[in-house]
Structure 1
Amino acid sequence: MGFIKTTNSIDLGDTPIENIFIDVYMPIANGTFVKVYLLAYKYACDRDMKENANNINIAKNLDIPLSDVLAAWDFWENKKIIKKIPLSTENEWDYSIEFFNLKQLYIDNNYKSLQTLNQEDSEPTSYTCSTRELIEANKVPEIKQMFIEINKIINRSLVPNEKMQILEWFHQYNIDPPLVIKAYNYCRYKKNVRNVKYVAGVIRNWYDQNITTVEQLQEHLANQGERYSLYDRVFKAMGFMYREPSEVEMKIMDKWLDSHQFTIDVILKACENCSKTSNPNINYIDSILSDWHKKGIAKVEDIDAEKEKQKEQKKEPLPISSSKTQQKIKTKFHLSESRGSRYDAKELEELLLNRSKNKQ
């Protein structure tokens, strides 16, 4: 597979985008923010457009609300790659955008700071994983398992250079193997990307937001309403600490939310039943939730009420049918009518007296 660029017979113009933006900043932003940045950057490079372009034009050309454009600039300003220059004190949205040179930012933030540190301290300021360290790291069960899980996520084996980059993340960002697994699965699920540089950009962004553990990531994603956090919580409740959900398993969990309209509390309540089976799996939980859906259970309180109802049903005695239990089974001795049934009590008494007199 390769990528080939053809040439045009007519020059329609180009907009140069720095690779740093594509490699580092684009992976951490949603599509709308990226489109706003690129279109405005095109205007900035075009002499005819940059004087008349504004946020309203961007919103119209992209067919998005003006609020999305303003939110995009807030996001990029927070990442410190643009600067808003107010033009009017009356309208909050009326301002110009200054794009920073990303190459210069990289030099200022990395190269110059490294020079300063090297002057102050002779010890090395960065870590580079060696082949020997990679071999030793593969002997650690937790790291070995991490590589196995990543191989499953990206559907191929990691090459040694990728493994060495991953090990370098541990020193650079002070993270643990479980977070690396989550990062790969997050990139695979969100963007269908398996590139190690893309994953590095995501981890770097998490690190900037003080996210260095799986628990902090779960809280962050839950606050953003990310469905990925649900998958993670369900699998953790089922006892899967390292295994990531497959696409089929994610579709089943999507059904619980979209079709059955269950809350996370109800889903986690179903996961409590995993302790009753030696081999918990997603289909087992799905059967429980499907049964609850048929019974109209929608809240945790409904689950408790259903359990009480089942207990009461077990306590109730079985109904006794008098016509069946009292009916006697007839044999051949009951087919003919007995003599006693032809006399009443008085006649039987007289009959017995007469017999006793005859015997005397």
Structure 2
Amino acid sequence: MGFYQSETTFDLGEMSVENLFITDFMPSASGTYVKVYLMGLMLSKSSTDGLRMTQKGLASLLNLPIQDVLDAWVYWEKQGIVKLIKTDPGDEPDVEFISVRELYIQSNFTSKMEKPISKPNTKRQTPYKKLYDSVEKVIGQTLSYTLYRDIGDFYDNYYPDATIITKAFEITYKERNIRDIKAVRNLLNKWLELDLKDLTAIETYIKNTNTRYSMYKDVLKTLGIPYRLANEAEMECIDRWLDDYEFSLDTILDLIKAFALKTNSLNFNFLENRFKNLYDQGIKSYSDFTKLESKDKNKPKPNTHKRNQHIVEKHRSYSEEELEALLLNKKE
């Protein structure tokens, strides 16, 4: 396979694009952002004096929403290869294109007085590119345009740390097998709500959470439903039994087994009532429960049924005089 250029008959102009842009920046950017960059670059190289293009005009030229064009310039500015310049607060910014080669040299070479020149890193990595590459490895597929935008949003508005965002994808896509970007966003939101600021705090939380999730699974398995995860209401019940009522997991499982022998309608409402009742009685362990049960069995049960008023006489032997008296009474 090869790539060749045919000879041209007409010269309608051409534009040079730095190879480093194509190799290092273009692969990790969305197609829309690349279109905006290239069209803007062409306009910046135009020989027409005083040519100015509004952002709205550029959007119309590319047949794109104006917001996509504005987002693209913000993205490229964060990559460090353009600079947005505003002369007046109300005016649209001018776009200054920065040489990618110059950025490459500045980031890979230093003065001999400071550091010996080593072999340059030909694959310049930006925070975004590292993040995109690591997420692609986790999910096992090339990122779509939507995923590019969402992941960039996570980095800009959630955690400016590629390792944390990658961790969220690992948990959602691999461990929980939920291949949905919304689940990743919900997980990141939860970490922010819990004020987990770094990967160490997040991993500690995950370890504790995994332990609790294992407990949820054990309870459901004992109830005969091992094929699904506990829902939110069920998790709240189990948390209450563990934290508020202070039952150990072994006690909970043993009590559930004991309750199952006495009823066919074993559900969370029933269990909540029973556990609450035991907690109110000061029962803390399964042994306490068995002692309570044995006491209840030994208590005399009140007989609520009226005794039969008929007296049944036991078999007995009668004398001849007694038998004769009985016969006389019957005849009378």
Q: Could you say which structure has the higher helix fraction?
A: 1
After TM superposition, the score normalised by the length of structure 1 is 0.43
